[in-house]
Amino acid sequence: MSFSVTLQHRVLERAVDTEAAFLRLYGASPAAFWLDSEHVEPGMDRFSFLGDASGPLAEVIGYRVGSGTVTVRTADGGVREVRGTILDHLAEALRTRPVPLPEDFPFDFAGGYVGYLGYEVKADCGGSAAHRAPAPDAQWIFADRVVVVDHLAGRTYLLALADDSGRAAAQTWLRTTAAILETLPTWSNPPPITTAGDTAGLEEHLVRGRARYLRDIADCGAALRAGESYEITLTDQLVFPATSGGLDVYRTLRRANPAPYSAYLRFGDLEIACSSPERFLKIDRDRTVETKPIKGTARRDPDPIVDEQLRRALTEDPKTRAENVMIVDLLRNDLGRVCEIGSVRVRELLVTETYSTLHQLVSTVRGTLRADTGVVDCLRACFPGGSMTGAPKIRTMQIIDTLETRARGVYSGTIGFLGLGGTADLNIVIRTAVRYAGTWQIGAGGAIVLDSVAAAEYDEMLLKAAAVYRALATGPVGAAAPATEVTAAG
């Protein structure tokens, strides 16, 4: 199928509040996305991207590992099955749908695919299909209508892709949407919400529980001593009935645990509320690839002196530093498979980043994609993110498969965009709650190495889960603005 479109756009000279914009434009949409960097921190992403699947060229793509086909639902109600994996489909779609990015755009996404890959897509990237997730393993929206908010420069961009027959409708959408956004408040960072920092009440919802998790850590230790792995990222999950909507939970989570790679996704009865601080892969228009693995977590403390002591202890801890360096080496190897020889470099090593609830130890690795390599080739080479597996990746994932009793699902996968201009920005799905089939699921874990202390590893896992769990317990923030349907024609 030929794909000949033009990009039309309009700019508002202020940054519209993204929460108000999402509620007004897409609050009732059955499939919608909100890639959210509104809570800007120095050096972090400054752009938020909002949209749904109501445009005339829009599609919703679903995939289950092992099915051999991808389901594509078009805006006109059509459904077709395409043979291959989700990565095969995305690679072909991006190859046949090139749309150059305007040079004066300060961001790298002007239409394309927004969605997620669940952890079990590892089976299409060299891993095994050990467990089956209840929800689809991947879902993506082909976004032909996008609202972009530049929080730093104070601008809002409206973007519309249109074929020859759809240019008038695109102009109508731009005009109508701009008029709605002009009625909404200008962006400002709202005050954070403080939630309880303790882990009381969490353990009753764990899938495997404390005793089993400690036994699993012992089994990890045996595998490490046998030389089968250097580092094993072991996780557990909280699962409990869903009594609140995903959007309400996300509105609380983004203020209780703000993070630069946050996102809210809705695909029918699947909702994802994500407050991830970790970048998986960013590929810019110059084909520079960046990954920022996190290994090492410490709690915050309201006493500034104690808080600084916790931060320093994290930075100086030999075990934590070793965990981080091992994942950096793994990612250098992953990027080396798709980047130009000699271009992969560690730009920052063992840097502390501080968030409202946690300190994290982060490194940054960059390279340049080879000319014969595309965005999806890079994604396939690096998925799942090494910080969620351990090293060496394939053997360590096999060990994890024998210990973890159910699929991780969306958790440990990735959320973000794949742009038609050959760009991408994808996170690691951590600090995330997933609502599906009447239940909430929250995953959490940590890296097990030879000198791990089992009880401390268990406590760290609970600490990570608590940041999300408490947002669910806090309840919704504020009153929702009424949703307004904005169609392609109006």
Mean pLDDT in each 10-residue stretch from start to end of the chain (490 residues)?
82 96 97 86 77 97 97 96 98 93 93 98 97 97 97 95 94 98 89 68 94 98 97 97 92 89 97 95 96 85 90 89 90 96 94 80 95 97 96 97 98 98 96 96 95 94 90 66 42
CA-to-CA dists, residue 5 to 102, 164, 167, 400, 420, angstroms: 14, 7, 9, 45, 11
pLDDT for res 320? 87
Tell me if residue 228 is catalytic: no
Compute φ and ψ for 276, nearest 5 degrees: -75, 135
CA 360 distance to own-chain centroid: 17
Strand partners, 368: 288
Measured from the Cβ of residue 189, the count of other Cβ atoms closer than 10 Å reads 12
CA-to-CA dists, residue 109 to 55, 113, 474, angstroms: 17, 9, 34
**CA–CA gap between residue 473 and residue 414 (Å, rounded):** 25
pLDDT for res 225? 97
**CA–CA gap between residue 117 and residue 57 (Å, rounded):** 22
Contact 349, 363 (CB under 8 A): yes
Residue whose C-alpha is closest to residue 446's, from 405, 412, 407, 469 = 412
**CA–CA gap between residue 383 and residue 363 (Å, rounded):** 18
**CA–CA gap between residue 57 and residue 5 (Å, rounded):** 10
pLDDT for res 43? 54
**CA–CA gap between residue 200 and residue 462 (Å, rounded):** 9
Residue whose C-alpha is closest to residue 407's, from 237, 280, 267 = 237
Tell me if residue 122 is catalytic: no
pLDDT for res 474? 75
**CA–CA gap between residue 138 and residue 62 (Å, rounded):** 6
Fill in the amino acid letter for 435: R
Q: Which of 122, 282, 292, 295 does the annotation list as catalytic?
A: 295
Residue whose C-alpha is closest to residue 113's, from 396, 379, 449 = 379
- Bond preceding residue 102 cis, omega within 30 of 0: no
pTM of the entire predicted model: 0.94
Q: Which of 19, 120, 231, 278 does the annotation list as catalytic?
A: 278
pLDDT for res 201? 83
CA-to-CA dists, residue 438 to 62, 207, 269, 480, angstroms: 20, 16, 9, 22
**CA–CA gap between residue 147 and residue 294 (Å, rounded):** 30
**CA–CA gap between residue 397 and residue 127 (Å, rounded):** 7
Contact 358, 470 (CB under 8 A): no
- Encode burial over 252-282: b for 16+ CB neighbours within 10 A, e otherwise: bbbbbbbbbbbbbbbbeebbbbbbbbbbbbb
pLDDT for res 483? 44
**CA–CA gap between residue 314 and residue 312 (Å, rounded):** 5
- Bond preceding residue 384 cis, omega within 30 of 0: yes
Contact 447, 325 (CB under 8 A): no
